[in-house]
Amino acid sequence: MHKLSEIKPNFIQELYDAFNGVNLKNGFTLLEEDFADTSYLRRYPHQYPYDIDGENCFSKQNLLDEIKNSSLLPEEKNDLTLAIEEGKRVNNQYITWDTVPFEYLDKYANGFYFITPNVYVFYTAALIKNLILNIEYFKGVAFDKWLSRLLMENLDHTMLIKLNNHQSSIIKKFLYTLLSDNYILEYIDVANIKKAIQLL
């Protein structure tokens, strides 16, 4: 097996080939899903994107106050505020998966638990590309959240039907490579990596 740094040049091209044409379409972004979770929007009925006339937790003003006082990234704060004020969805800044920065993936990693299968495929390519280019990113939480969501497939397998054979093969190659890199092994759960490989 090779270390991650040794497969980088060819692997990036393989990643582009495998995930060519993958996009979000109308799927909800990590930011939207993460915010919906942390602001408790999921717990109570509401009109999407936000119940402008709602009371209590989901009034327009309460949501705006929550955003203002949150630790969201500045650009995302502005986008969410604008979406709530205009009653629209958040503007997605990252149209293609190769433009999604790691900071975004890591900041809103809780969204991995809620995104749809198609959206998961989109962010899978983005995350793997970022991790290949900078192994320091394994110190963040994004990889663990992504892997945890993949392992949830043991229950219903709704995600895997969205991965074609080429994509599954690339992900397995990536995961196998992690097992041979001593530096990365300090930050990952080997048992979960092996489970994911079997799952794919």
* pTM of this prediction exceeds 0.85: no
pLDDT, tens only, 97-127: 999 999 999 999 999 988 888 999 999 999 9
| Phi, psi for 197 (deg, rounded to 5) | -60, -45
Cα torsion angle, 142, 143, 145, 146, sign: positive
| Phi, psi for 192 (deg, rounded to 5) | -70, -35
Q: What is the Cα gyration radius of the chain?
A: 18
- Distance CA(92)–CA(100), nearest Å, equals 10
Most confident of 25-29, 140-144, 161-165: 140-144
